[in-house]
Chains A and B, each alone.
Chain A
Amino acid sequence: MMVAVGSLVGRLGMRQWGVGPSALTRGPLTACRRWAGASADTVYDVVVSGGGLVGAAMACALGHDIHFHDKKILLLEAGPKKVLEKLSETYSNRVSSISPGSATLLSSFGAWDHICNMRCRAFRRMQVWDSCSEALIMFDKDKLDDMGYIVENDVIMHALTKQLEAVSDRVTVLYRSKAVGYTWPGPFSMADSSPWVHITLGDGSTLQTKLLIGADGHNSGVRQAAGIQNVSWNYDQSAVVATLHLSEPTENNVAWQRFLPSGPIALLPLSDTSSSLVWSTSHDHAAELVSMDEEEFVDSINSAFWSDANHTDFIDSASTMLHYVVALLKPTKVSARQLPPSIARVDAKSRARFPLGLGHAVEYVRPRVALIGDAAHRVHPLAGQGVNMGFGDISSLVHHLSTAAFNGKDLGSMSHLTGYETDRQRHNTALLVATDILKRLYSTSAMPPVLLRTWGLQATNAVSPLKALRKVCPSIPERNHNTKRQICARRRKVSKTMLKGITNRLRFIILICDMNSELRVHRLCSSGKPSETRGKFSCTCTCGRGSIVFISSRK
């Protein structure tokens, strides 16, 4: 692991770069035949290879930058142009969690307004909890600011395309163009060779550019052609995505994530009635989930969120112990565990899966080349940071390039590219390592790691500065009672195959019957006296402690 960390860090500081392989034999320089306005003599200032979310946003940000007013930028996209004439009524299954920092970047070139006019969902709270214990961490913002936004990828792409069209005098977009070969500039002593990067496209035409930005995904062609080493491994996990419909409309501004031993399952709000699912699990289970019938799929999601089957006595007592300590020291920091909304059905044909892995390029830059987004780093979706890291790369690189352009510098010069690399490698390496550790820590149900992570999570929840990573507000005043009242006010449906868990050491004894039956909920508080409630509500709290399970019945 330490070796992996060492290699992940790469070489910050003094670098040694040789000449990249000018391996591919290219034909004679032919004039570009595809579009008017460009001759064989045209040297682009920047070419962005890859028109995905990060590549298009990079081209947009550069096009809208004031110091790039007279520069020529080109965006190469292998796919066709996607025109979104009308928003479909159903939500797409690929969504991204956009952090406030990324939202600021998108609004700096006007794309965020388009997104807000189409559709996006802000969430204010995030609950992350374990399946093997009661430990949870609640991220929240005190001032009712949004923690993040859930936006469909298609909506973001459409907004970016619109903003690219607004600066079409500076930014040219070539669709259905894939770069097949690159020729790197020779060393300074070979004075007769061209100092620019030459890109050969699929149709044989060539382009020259002062700076090539690789934004072509985790199998980046630019990175491979430049010979940049990539530290990567595949997780034995696939992510299953789907669009789900809730049992009943709710405020739905909370993001939920539960760590199961097979992998984390997350529910991201899309609207009052629907949410998006991202469930990382083993390859076999993922294939099973995608192929099973809808009702079974819905039940497995609900039980994944609600089941306490993985709890063990030892862990529960250990966590209770720390819980008492925390309650003694900081009574206001105790959070009550809430349950996510139950799922009623899934959108037909919205289930999909894709494999997961980790990747990190050892160098982000070479002379006249820079990597951004997934080409530079690939991360597990458990933290929702993949595209946000890419947008962070864009902010940093645009800042460096803008300053360089205002100083009249050669855009491909290593002096400012290494500044970008140092900035971002520091940030991204830390996040990648943390995400990988979290993934490994939560992939097991063995006792020691479970104990460690239970206490760790509870401590983190109690000690507010550690949550500052997510810019969470420190105090959660009087949450218990408020939460209970809120929960009590809601009613939820119960599905037929809800699990039955009875143990007298749990604070709750839940007897769950099918929908038309009566419910009985017993709660044992610390004094050992049961208090029974029947019917629609289960809301008991005399001592203010313990987690609450809210179930209602139809009756």
Chain B
Amino acid sequence: MWRGRKLSSCGVRFLETLGFGYPSTLAELPLRTSWSGNLQIKPWVFIEHRTMWFRAYRMTFSCLTRIKSYRSSWKRLCSTSQTTVDSNEVKTFLALAHKWWDEQGVFAPLHSMNDLRVPFIRDNLLKTSANHQLGKPLSGMKILDVGCGGGLLTEPLGRLGASVIGIDPVDENIKIAQHHKSFDPGLRKRIEYRACSLEEIVEETAETFDAVVASEVVEHVIDIEAFMQCCYRVLKPSGSLFVTTINKTQLSYALGIVFSEQIAGIVPKGTHTWEKFVSPEKLESILESNGLSVQTVAGMLYNPFSGYWHWSENTSLNYAAHAIRSKVQEHPEPAELFSKRETEELSANASTNPCVCEELKK
């Protein structure tokens, strides 16, 4: 979903705005419950109690996170000294932690996005391996789900036979995810959850994963460059990276922020910040410069009336990208990689499509 936290100096002010913003999220509820079906419990009573508890929790939590970030900066895991976790994002998601597994609730669009992203991940991974076990297509694969939230995407991957590690900086999310998976004996051993950020596990898990999934995370991260470097480091050579995120366009502002958050309440208010959205071109350039060659970029569209997602040619709202870590072992220089990629592309295209090759030469 998202992960990354950076302690900014104006964090306190943000806390206050979020404290104010919280009741407005409550006001969105009538719109959502009428749409999302009949819950037997009354959400008002339930959530008012929680508000008190969350505010107290947030205060202590912010102290804890401050300590944690000092510790992490000591370790110097990546080239940047700061982590990629955004504390404001942590607060937002903490407030919604208990609603992860309500399929008709706040996270309904994420639940139905599984219909697109699980086949996307599964099919692209199946292409890389030759042996397919019946009933467990991803068996033998190790996957890292960065920003797993409540485990919405981790569990389907686990059911398909992969060994998945799900990480999320929000402790509450990990607790919910652990609790949910504990009921299913088939998943208990295949999924592992950890409450940490990506930077913290880079050292111990370098080059161990067949795939890294960063779904709905990149738009919540402070430093995408650092994030992608860490992804590169944890991937095995020729491992796959899957990213789903939102494009930074006027349409995504109008529909993704104004309509979805403020008008229709499809997404809780304050979840997204338009400035942090990433366009596919920018994402591609970051990926390529960090040794991850992009294989596919495909647009996704959400229909709020039916509640289903669809693939689309248009990437101006949501899109998914698949990249593969190139086989070069050491961490390459950006310029070197760029020229290498170009020559690789030319040779590949020359063998397959002479027209494209001519275009490139132009």
The residue in B98, B137, B176, B186 that gathers the most chain A C-beta atoms within 10 A of its C-beta is B186
Are the CB atoms of A68 and B135 closer together than 8 Å?
yes
Q: Determine the residue in chain B with the shortest Cβ distance to A185.
A: B183
Q: Determine the residue in chain B with the shortest Cβ distance to A15.
A: B37
Among A18, A42, A191, A405, contact of B40 (Cβ-Cβ < 8 Å): A18
Q: Indicate the size class of the contact surface on chain B.
A: 35 or more
Inside 8 A of A407's CB, which chain B residues have their CB? 114-115, 118-119, 122, 156
Tell me whether chain B's interface is mostly helix, strand or loop, or mixed: helix
Inside 8 A of B68's CB, which chain A residues have their CB? none
Least Cβ–Cβ distance between B155 and chain A, in angstroms: 7
A447 to B295, CA, bound (A): 73
A250 at the interface (CB under 8 A from B): no
Known: A14-B37, A189-B102, A415-B103. 20 other contacts (CB 8 A): A14-B35, A15-B37, A17-B37, A42-B185, A43-B185, A66-B134, A69-B136, A70-B135, A187-B41, A188-B101, A188-B102, A189-B98, A191-B179, A195-B183, A406-B137, A407-B156, A408-B155, A409-B118, A409-B156, A415-B115
Inside 8 A of A409's CB, which chain B residues have their CB? 114, 118, 156, 159
**Contacts from A to B (Cβ < 8 Å):** 14-19, 41-43, 66-71, 187-189, 191, 194-196, 405-410, 413-415
Question: Contacts A406-B137, A408-B158 given: A189-B46 contact, CB under 8 Å?
Answer: yes
A414 to B46, CA, bound (A): 25
CB within 8 Å of A: which B265-320 residues: none
Inside 8 A of A188's CB, which chain B residues have their CB? 101-103, 105
Inside 8 A of B111's CB, which chain A residues have their CB? 415
Least Cβ–Cβ distance between B320 and chain A, in angstroms: 15
**Contacts from B to A (Cβ < 8 Å):** 35, 37-41, 46, 98, 101-103, 105, 111-112, 114-115, 118-119, 122, 134-137, 155-160, 176, 179-180, 183-186
Tell me whether chain A's interface is mostly helix, strand or loop, or mixed: loop
Among A16, A17, A71, contact of B135 (Cβ-Cβ < 8 Å): A71
A66 to B134, CA, bound (A): 6
Inside 8 A of B115's CB, which chain A residues have their CB? 407, 415
A378 to B102, CA, bound (A): 34
Are the CB atoms of A16 and B37 closer together than 8 Å?
yes
A408 to B136, CA, bound (A): 9
Inside 8 A of A187's CB, which chain B residues have their CB? 39-41
A16 to B39, CA, bound (A): 9
Among B98, B136, B137, contact of A191 (Cβ-Cβ < 8 Å): B98
Q: Determine the residue in chain B with the shortest Cβ distance to A42.
A: B185
Q: Determine the residue in chain A with the shortest Cβ distance to B108.
A: A415
Inside 8 A of B179's CB, which chain A residues have their CB? 191
Closest 5 CB pairs of A and B: A69-B135, A408-B156, A70-B135, A408-B159, A69-B134
Are the CB atoms of B134 and A19 closer together than 8 Å?
no
Q: Determine the residue in chain B with the shortest Cβ distance to A66.
A: B134
Least Cβ–Cβ distance between B128 and chain A, in angstroms: 18
Q: Determine the residue in chain A with the shortest Cβ distance to B121.
A: A408
Are the CB atoms of B103 and A413 closer together than 8 Å?
yes
Least Cβ–Cβ distance between B49 and chain A, in angstroms: 12
Least Cβ–Cβ distance between A46 and chain B, in angstroms: 13
